[in-house]
Amino acid sequence: MTDPQSKAQQLREFFSNRVINQVRQILDLWRYLPECNWSVTAVADLARALEKLAAAAQRFDAKRHQQLAQELLDVLQQIQPGQSPESAQLELLNQKVRLLSETALRHNDKQAAERLIPSKKPVYIALDDEAAAQTIAQQMQYFGIRADVQRSSDEFLQALQIRHPAALVLDMHFSGNGHGLLLAEQIQQQREQSLPILFTYQDQPPDIEQRLSAMRNGATGIYQQSEIQAVISQLEDLLDRTPLQPFRILIVDDSKAQAMHSARVLNKAGMVTEIVNDPLQVLTALAESTPDLVLMDMYMPGCNGMELAKVIRQQREHLNLPIIYLSGEEDRQRQLDAMAEGGDDFLTKPVEARHLLSTVKTRVLRARQLQNLIARDSLTGLLNHTHILEALQENLNRNDGTPVTFVMIDIDHFKNINDQHGHPVGDEVIKNLALFLTQSLRKSDPIGRYGGEEFAVVLRDANQDQATMVMEQLRQNFTKLIHANNRELQVTFSCGLAQWQGDSLSDLVERADQALYQAKRAGRNQVCVAKAS
Ligand SMILES: Nc1nc2c(ncn2[C@@H]2O[C@H](COP(=O)(O)OP(=O)(O)OP(=O)(O)O)[C@@H](O)[C@H]2O)c(=O)[nH]1
């Protein structure tokens, strides 16, 4: 007879697998909605996927998933088919989708390697050098990316018939000089949507004609075969399914009708809007919500748009906030004057919806890129020292009963690596660990470069035992990575972690640091847990 406990465990694992797939599908549909301006069919597809999840969750008694799926369905049903969703509805949907993506995996899931982020679809690798292809495939697996090696053009084409991959890693000269490029052309011609292809070459860098041909055939990048980590990094971007933070737009216009019109256009593309009709209220609105962009009328009672833009720019925190004027002003000189006073763009009313949308989207994406650069470490792309601590503080502030564990990681004998192999190799090891952590942890876990060869992670919803399991697994996997194409170079890290017990941020960090010190003293290459305070 089967032990009832193991049966329950099996059921849980079955559900866990299934839910990961269903949530993946829901996230894909969700990301597609703004692109198709919330088309009726796309919303119906999302509703169907949510119904399926709710039904499966009910069968397996997974209350949290059932509740979230149902809540999402309730909001969707309030939106009239073909109409713009309201900002409050968008807020709610965004918040629930985010929660759903977070619940899709727990740290103690057995399938920790198969996380939410990477696509379930495999990546096909087709290189002339099969041993090199196997090495890349194995490295990808350590990063949680499924990879299938294809040995010949025929095998490759056959595999494509059977299963669509998430992306291809293809040698430009697979099966003969330039043949990889021809193969790519043949593959893309048969598809409606082009397949992302990462082209590789062995020694001779491609010339401009080959690069152009690669670009025309769907290249997302061209790499030397030995740049394994760069290939993995690009794949991670391609396969990322984290729900985007919605764009938040503050509309400042004394005309209620004009403001509502703009709001509807932006809402239809999934952007959350807030309207301020009294220009004197703009600073209060900026302090309360943190918009990505301000869309502003030029002529309003009380003050004009140019004066307002100047006042906004006087505050350091809004120096990079994009401001777009939307006005009936047609005089080009006045428009240019307005931009000189702190505006970024000028749209003349009446503006076409697609024109407004593309201007707003481009500006917000640029501003976010810039913000990202400021908050992130340039070598690794991780949060910098200040911002990882800020992320930790935010998590402590939530104080909603879910455990939070702070983890500190330090590469062992890093000075020797620099001394023996050179600084560039040291840098590569740092980048590899950053990428490895990004790939191996949940997207919702903030990861930072704390100092030179020191890293920090905030694990939310993980107590110290769960966190130890996760970090122990990572520690073991990390030792298997190849760095700088040198199989002799084995790198390890030590790790100290502390679960938050209601203590101050500095005490928590101090405890994790002490635990890290313990791990170093006890011989390195290990995970140590902090003592209770
Ligand atoms: N290549 C490279 N090296 C760095 C960077 N930041 C710090 N380092 C070096 O990292 C080394 C850190 O060495 P230590 O703190 O002495 O410790 P360790 O050699 O890692 O030894 P243990 O931590 O005791 O295992 C120093 O030599 C720094 O110069 C960086 O961005 N790139």
Tracing tokens 């990079």 back to the chain, one arrives at 320
The reply to whether ligand 1 has any atom less than 6 angstroms from the CB of 430 is yes
Domain ranges of the chain: 4-103, 123-239, 248-372, 385-529
C-alpha 425 – ligand 1 centre gap (Å): 12
Helix (H, G, I), strand (E, B) or coil at 495: strand
CA of 430 to the centre of ligand 1 (A): 10
Same fold, 4-103 and 123-239: no
| Cα 440 to middle of ligand 1, angstroms | 23
As separate numbers, helices (DSSP H) first and strands (DSSP E) second, the chain gives 19, 15
Q: Which residue has the tokens 């990808």?
A: 140
Pairing of strands 493-499, 404-411: antiparallel
pLDDT per residue over 372-401, tens digit each? 777 888 788 889 998 899 899 989 988 888
Q: What is the ipTM of this complex?
A: 0.92
Check: CB of residue 456 under 8 Å from CB of residue 407: yes
- Tell me the residue ranges of DSSP E strands in 204-298: 219-224, 248-252, 272-276, 293-296
Q: Which residue minimizes the CA distance to atom 8 of ligand 1?
A: 452
**Residue 8 has what pLDDT?**
72
Most confident of 9-23, 169-183, 227-241, 407-421: 407-421
pLDDT at position 124: 95
Q: Which CATH class is domain 248-372?
A: alpha beta
Average pLDDT over residues 20-48: 84
Q: Are 525 and 475 in contact (CB under 8 A)?
A: yes
Structure tokens at 333: 């000189």
Closest residue by CA, ligand 1 atom 21: 413
Cβ–ligand 1 contact at 59 (below 6 Å)? no
Q: How many CB atoms lie within 10 A of CB 486?
A: 11
* Amino acid identity at 332: R
The answer to whether the CB of 67 falls within 8 A of the CB of 75 is no
State mean pLDDT over 357-384.
Answer: 85
* Region for 472 from its dihedrals, namely left if φ exceeds 0, alpha if ψ lies in -120 to 50, beta otherwise: alpha
| Spatial CB neighbours of 388, under 8 Å, sequence gap ≥ 6 | 382, 446, 447, 448, 449, 450, 456, 458
Omega prior to 350 cis, within 30 of 0: yes
Q: List beta partners, residue 346.
A: 325
412 Cβ below 6 A of ligand 1: yes
Pocket test for ligand 1, best of 411, 412, 415, 420 (most atoms within 8 A of CB): 415
CB atoms near residue 430 (< 10 Å) = 23
Residue with CA closest to ligand 1 atom 4: 452
Spacing, Cα 492 to ligand 1 middle (Å): 13
Considering the domain 123-239 in this protein, what is its CATH number?
Answer: 3.40.50.2300
pLDDT, the chain, mean: 87
* Ligand 1, atom 3, residue with closest C-alpha: 426
- Ligand 1 centroid – CA 460 distance (Å): 28
Q: Which residue has the tokens 């809402």?
A: 267
Share of the chain above pLDDT 70, in %: 95
Residue with tokens 């100092």: 451
* Nearest residue (CA) to ligand 1, atom 24: 413
Q: CB within 8 A of 528, min separation 6: which ones?
A: 494, 495, 496, 497, 515, 516, 518, 519, 522
Domain 385-529 has CATH 3.30.300.20: no
Domain 4-103 coded CATH 2.60.40: no
